[in-house]
Amino acid sequence: MTTTPSSPSEARNPKLVWDNLLAGNARFAAGKPLHPNQSVNRREELRMGQSPRAAVFTCGDSRVPVELLFDVGLGDIFTIRTAGEVVDAAVLASLEFAVEALAVEVLVVLGHESCGAVKAAAAVALDGAEVPTGHQRTIVEQIMPSILSAKSAGKHTPFDFERAHAEAIRSKIMGISPVIKEAVKSGKTAFIAAHYSLADGSIDYLSVEGV
């Protein structure tokens, strides 16, 4: 069995795909990455199409390079990114494409430490800071419900808010995408909320369905 989650010849196995992603992250965190699937031959193989076994929806933060964090390579992960993991129609369409057309076995919402978008939303929701102008307002307004819900549950730190937001986004997507909900309920796709630590490079999963 390969250590990467992208091998079309293997049978569907969401748990194995997630385990392999975690193993790759452990290598990254330990400073011992293998850098798989990054060769010229790999690029050539992918010219005819892609068959990633995982999709990750995460923040646009430059400190969260998904392929590096999971120690995978070209064609291994279908990645969607917005500031603060904010969901819109394009994000949902992209996630549904990953589930339906690409048949990914694992879908991950990945929050992260020191998220500026979550910090900004918390400042507005809890400290009375001004709402940003322009389109940035949308980011803050969509994250604020996660902050308020977390506070009502007795959570008060940025770390708590980041993790609560990732879980809230996973639940939100399940609630508004019948395509993804059916894939998860049928066992075709596992859906995971996780959190990345900038400090030690580790990824901790928060909630999971389908593994």
Contact 194, 110 (CB under 8 A): yes
Q: Which two tokens stand for residue 103?
A: 């048949």
Contact 24, 72 (CB under 8 A): yes
Phi/psi of residue 180, nearest 5 degrees: -70, -40
Half-sphere exposure of residue 109: CA atoms within 13 angstroms, side-chain side: 29
Annotated ligand binding at 61? The verdict is yes
Annotated ligand binding at 76? The verdict is no
Residue that has been written with the tokens 């001004």 in this structure:
130
At residue 42, what is the residue type? R
Burial class (CB in 10 A: 0-12, 13-18, 19+), 55: buried
Annotated ligand binding at 19? The verdict is no
Measured distance CA(181)–CA(171) in Å, rounded: 10
List of residues 6+ apart from 4 with CB closer than 8 A: 20, 24, 36, 37, 72, 73, 76
At residue 5, what is the residue type? P
Annotated ligand binding at 156? The verdict is no
Binding residues for Zn(2+): 59, 61, 112, 115
Binding annotation: 59, 61, 112, 115
